[in-house]
């Protein structure tokens, strides 16, 4: 086995343990553990400043944040989403009794194809959820144009896109609102966590109330809400990691460059690249494996796993091929050729603060060797 310690995709980035423990210790002293505590408020303010968006509402996780945002935007009937994303994008819609309608992707970006979105529109469509997959912005302007033309509401699942820019502006301010995830595996983690960012003060207030059962003040409930509150321990981790976000970014950038160099001349291996005119977070090292590589994508993943490189087949096989969607919408499979092709080719490789550039060099050499096995 080449690596004695396993290299994981999405190993948590923990930047300043001492600062975190200090915040948690202060929290225990205050005995204010949750319910819009001072750490949650500070995390929200710091996020708003960093993103350049006036309103940020922190949540217990991005899935609940997506559900609350979908409610607050009065989504109903059908909502168009990509299938090629983490399953939570569709689940958040389905869980509200709304039908997710799966559109296909652009094979170059892996993000929604606006023409496919257009073809999915019916009289029942109320909105579109774009996903900034791998931290590449979805086609924001094109999707906005389609939505404006048809009177649809547009929001984004920005779970992969913290710190990413589009046209020089940070993701967080596009569409009606954008939803971030701060899950342990994400670029910026708060253990579990998420947030909704928006320019719309009224929408933010509605989302804030829905996060806390719909309570306005102590005894007055004005909406059907849920419990989407972020805890103080989670906010503490988020605050510390946001203060040190450049450490995470530097580690990811160096690793990405090492992958660019190490994978450059391996036939059948194509590294997914990012627009060099924009900021990216380089959280996902995405490789497409084609026939020119000696072995199949699945054989590559198995061979890497044997050497303790725990690569992942994200987002195989596509949401439309998972329950309940496979059973509910068996016909959509043939409408998603690019989703199926890309889902069959992609491997996500380890990066983050736990992975060093010489680990990356050895991973790349290993991949080259695996390709020569046949
Ligand atoms: C991680 C993720 C989510 C869910 O985030 P949680 O905070 O774990 O609920 C949603 N969408 C995408 C694209 C994700 O990657």
Number of H helices, E strands in the chain: 13, 14
- What structural domains does the chain harbor? 17-243 (3.40.640.10), 245-371 (3.90.1150.10)
Q: What is the 63 CA–ligand 1 centroid distance (Å)?
A: 6
Residue 180 pLDDT: 98
Residue nearest to atom 2 of ligand 1 (CA): 159
* Ligand 1 binding pocket, CB closer than 6 Å: 61-63, 85-86, 88-89, 131, 157, 159-160, 181, 183, 194
Q: Provide the pLDDT confidence category of residue 227 given band limits of 50, 70 and 90.
A: very high
Q: Which atom of ligand 1 is nearest to the CA of 181?
A: 7
pLDDT of 42 > 80? The answer is: yes
Q: What is the 181 CA–ligand 1 centroid distance (Å)?
A: 6
pLDDT of 312 > 90? The answer is: yes
How large is the average pLDDT for residues 9-16?
95
CA angle 108, 329, 298 (to 5 degrees): 50
Nearest by Cα to 56 from 187, 251, 205, 169: 205
Query: What pLDDT digit, counting tens, does each position of 234-285 carry?
Result: 999 999 999 999 999 999 999 999 999 999 999 999 999 999 999 999 999 9
How large is the average pLDDT for residues 276-297?
96
Residue 374 pLDDT: 65
How large is the average pLDDT for residues 16-44?
98
3-state secondary structure 280-341: CCCCCEEEEECCCCCCCHHHHHHHHHHCCEECECCCCCCHHHCCCHHHHCHHHHHHCHHHHH
DSSP annotation of 133: G
Instruction: Judge contact between 229 and 37, C-beta under 8 A.
Output: no
- Give the dihedral of Cα atoms 254, 260, 262, 267; nearest 10 deg: 160
Query: What pLDDT digit, counting tens, does each position of 331-372 carry?
Result: 999 999 999 999 999 999 999 999 999 999 999 999 999 998
Q: What whole-number percentage of the chain has pLDDT above 70? A: 100
């Amino acid at each position: 086995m080449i690596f004695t310690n396993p290299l994981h995709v999405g190993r948590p980035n923990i930047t300043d343990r001492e600062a975190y423990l200090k915040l948690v210790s202060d929290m225990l002293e205050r005995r204010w553990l949750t319910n819009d505590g001072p750490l949650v408020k500070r995390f929200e303010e710091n996020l708003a400043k960093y993103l350049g968006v006036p309103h940020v509402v922190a949540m217990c996780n991005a899935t609940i944040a997506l559900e609350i945002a979908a409610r607050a935007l009065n989504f109903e009937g059908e909502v168009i989403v990509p299938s090629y994303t983490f399953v939570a994008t569709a689940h958040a819609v389905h869980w509200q009794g709304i039908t997710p309608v799966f559109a296909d992707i652009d094979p170059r970006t892996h993000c929604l194809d606006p023409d496919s979105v257009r073809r999915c529109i019916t009289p029942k469509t109320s909105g579109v959820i774009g996903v900034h997959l791998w931290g590449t912005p979805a086609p924001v302007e094109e999707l906005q144009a389609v939505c404006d033309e048809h009177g649809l509401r547009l929001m984004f699942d920005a779970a992969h896109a913290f710190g990413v820019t589009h046209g020089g502006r940070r993701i967080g301010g596009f569409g009606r609102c954008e939803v971030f995830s701060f899950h342990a595996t994400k670029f910026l983690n708060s253990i579990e966590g998420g947030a909704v960012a928006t320019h719309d003060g009224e929408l933010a207030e509605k989302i804030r109330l829905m996060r806390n059962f719909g309570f306005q003040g102590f005894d007055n409930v004005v909406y059907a809400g849920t419990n989407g509150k972020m805890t103080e321990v989670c906010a503490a981790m988020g605050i510390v990691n946001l203060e040190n976000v450049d450490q995470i970014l530097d580690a990811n950038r160096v690793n990405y460059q090492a992958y660019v160099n190490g994978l450059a001349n391996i036939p059948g291996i194509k590294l997914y690249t990012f627009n060099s005119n924009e900021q990216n977070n380089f959280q996902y090292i995405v490789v497409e494996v084609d026939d020119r590589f000696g072995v199949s994508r699945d054989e590559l993943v198995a061979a890497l796993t044997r050497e303790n490189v725990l690569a992942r087949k994200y987002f195989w096989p596509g949401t439309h091929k998972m329950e309940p969607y496979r059973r509910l919408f068996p016909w959509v499979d043939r409408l998603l050729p690019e989703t199926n092709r890309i889902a069959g080719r992609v491997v996500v490789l380890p990066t983050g603060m736990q992975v060093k550039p010489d680990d990356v060099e050895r991973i790349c050499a290993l991949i080259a060797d695996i390709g020569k096995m046949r």
